[in-house]
Amino acid sequence: MTTTVRTRVAIVGAGPAGLILSHLLADAGIESIVVDSRSREQIESTIRAGILEQNTADLLRAIDPDTRVDTVGHRHDGIELHFGGEGHRIDFPALVGRSVWLYPQHEVLKDLLALRLGAAQDLRLGVTVEGVEDDGSGHPAVLALDADGSPLRIEADFVVGADGSRSVVRPFVTGSRGGGYFREYPFAWFGILCEAPPSSDELIYSNSEHGFALISQRSPDVQRMYFQCDPATDPATLGDAEIWEALQVRVPGTTLTEGPIIQRDVLRFRSFVAHELRRDRVALVGDAAHTVPPTGAKGMNLAIADVVLLADALRALLVSGDERLIDGYAERALDRIWKAQHYSWWMTSMLHVALDASDFDRRRQLGELHSVVSSESGRAYLAEGYTGWPLPVG
Ligand code: DHB
């Protein structure tokens, strides 16, 4: 027996994008149902990046009086770019009058789940979406299996795929599983979480002859660090001593504070933009629509920027019957998506050392890094993208 429920917007995915969208819609009096295949515990413990652009931090404060972005999170006014044996600080407020916040995604998710559940959001976890149906009648439906395995049909006025890079909604929008512009990279990141206080006040992005390393943080007692590795690396094959050695040689001049390694993983790099972001009354946001390589931490910020645009468009469509913004959603979102694709590609290619790099390639890359740090316009370009371009309004 299929259970059928009705709502105005069916949102697939309870990540930052799906939860923020449900909030912005509720603010406009539009009811939604959010479904996700994961449990609350799984959602709250998924380790992702930790940098919020200024806009993202501002939005969290505006929607959630209890956000911990300023208490558990910390403002960061700069980063260090390290290369050729020297560190160069990029001072964000001095260059662009903006900052970023170090506030890990799983903490953002704890806040957002508490916010939405506190507002009695219809949030269904453990629900596996199997497909989307849209016969052009203006009433698409999500077909799913409920947490107990029984068939569930959610009929809506609009369906949003906020269900990540393995999106189930995407093939419906693009017509195929791939369905996009795609690029792979010849390197990956070996990432660790370790129990030790930060090695430096600000994040260090280091280009060294041994490859790239990023020294980041999670909390006063936990650090997140990454070093460039072969995408085929099995995280279980490296011992702790080898990991510390690999990190330490890539950040000469900084003594890393070591501690027990509590998690290790290999992150593959991809750039992807779906060919279509909307088909009739079904749209994609966040990783369902695009993926960026992690250098520069644009992923979650970009997802939230999509949501701000889509919420405006859905408000116009579902409250006033005005289709103009939804018709322009893909074009407007793609503007920022391609800028962020370029920025993430640029930071990645400028900071990583390709295995087959020639002496020319290496010297050119150092020339590029010098040209960025030695010019105020170069530093401002980096700072502007890192702290985030202004969100489109209305
Ligand atoms: C982190 C990840 C990034 O990709 C980045 O650019 C900065 C920080 C992080 O996980 O802390």
What pLDDT, in 10s, does the model give residues 236-293? Answer: 999 999 999 999 999 999 999 999 999 999 999 999 999 999 999 999 999 999 999 9
Pocket of ligand 1 (CB under 6 A): 49-51, 203, 214, 216, 224, 294-297
CA of 43 to the centre of ligand 1 (A): 19
Phi, psi (deg, nearest 5) at residue 115: -60, -50
Residue 47 alpha carbon, nearest atom of ligand 1: 10
Beta-carbon contacts of 286 under 8 Å, excluding residues fewer than 6 positions away, are: 13, 15, 16, 17, 162, 164, 299, 300, 302, 303, 304, 306, 307
Residue 264's CB: how many other CB atoms inside 10 A? Answer: 15
Residue pair 200/247 in contact (Cβ under 8 Å)? The answer is no
Residue 299 alpha carbon, nearest atom of ligand 1: 4
Which CATH topology does 3-76+101-181+271-353 take?
Answer: FAD/NAD(P)-binding domain (3.50.50)
Q: Is 205 a catalytic residue?
A: yes
pLDDT tops 90 at residue 48? no
Residue pair 232/355 in contact (Cβ under 8 Å)? The answer is no
Q: Is 206 left (phi over 0), alpha (psi -120 to 50) or beta?
A: beta
- Rounded Cα–Cα distance for residues 341 and 291 (Å): 8
Q: Whose CA is nearest to atom 3 of ligand 1?
A: 297
Whether this model's pTM surpasses 0.95: yes
Residue pair 95/383 in contact (Cβ under 8 Å)? The answer is yes
Residue 189 alpha carbon, nearest atom of ligand 1: 4
Look up residue 182 and give its two tokens.
């795609």
Q: Whose CA is nearest to atom 7 of ligand 1?
A: 297
Look up residue 185 and give its two tokens.
């990279």
Residue 102 alpha carbon, nearest atom of ligand 1: 11
Q: Whose CA is nearest to atom 11 of ligand 1?
A: 50
User: Given 16, 82, 294, 329, which residue is catalytic?
Assistant: 294
Instruction: Give residue 394's pLDDT.
Output: 47
- On average, the pLDDT of the chain sits at 96
pLDDT tens readout for residues 126-168: 999 999 999 888 899 999 999 999 999 999 999 999 999 999 9
pLDDT tens readout for residues 205-241: 999 999 999 999 999 999 999 999 999 999 999 999 9
Mean pLDDT of 298-314: 97
Q: Where are the domains of the chain?
A: 3-76+101-181+271-353
- Rounded Cα–Cα distance for residues 237 and 67 (Å): 39
User: Given 23, 103, 104, 205, which residue is catalytic?
Assistant: 205
Mean pLDDT of 23-29: 98
Per cent of the chain over pLDDT 90 is 94
Please give the span between the terminal C-alpha atoms of the chain, in angstroms, as a whole number.
43
- Rounded Cα–Cα distance for residues 21 and 14 (Å): 10
Instruction: Looking at the chain, list the stretches that DSSP marks H as alpha helix, in order from N- to C-terminal side.
Output: 16-27, 40-45, 54-63, 92-96, 105-118, 170-174, 240-250, 299-320, 324-351, 359-373, 376-387
CA of 294 to the centre of ligand 1 (A): 7
- Rounded Cα–Cα distance for residues 25 and 17 (Å): 12
CA of 298 to the centre of ligand 1 (A): 9
Tell the residue number behind the tokens 């949501």, with chain if given.
307
Q: Is 339 a catalytic residue?
A: no
- Rounded Cα–Cα distance for residues 264 and 251 (Å): 19
Q: What is the CA radius of gyration of the chain?
A: 21
Please state the separation of Cα 126 from the chain's center in Å.
22
Q: Using DSSP, state whether 226 is helix, strand or coil.
A: strand
Q: Whose CA is nearest to atom 9 of ligand 1?
A: 49
Tell the residue number behind the tokens 């107990």, with chain if given.
148
CA of 157 to the centre of ligand 1 (A): 37
Q: Is 65 a catalytic residue?
A: no
CA of 299 to the centre of ligand 1 (A): 10
Residue pair 372/80 in contact (Cβ under 8 Å)? The answer is no
Instruction: Looking at 73-204, list the stretches that DSSP marks H as alpha helix, in order from N- to C-terminal side.
Output: 92-96, 105-118, 170-174
Assign 393 a pLDDT band (cuts: 50, 70, 90): low
Q: How many residues appear in the chain?
A: 394
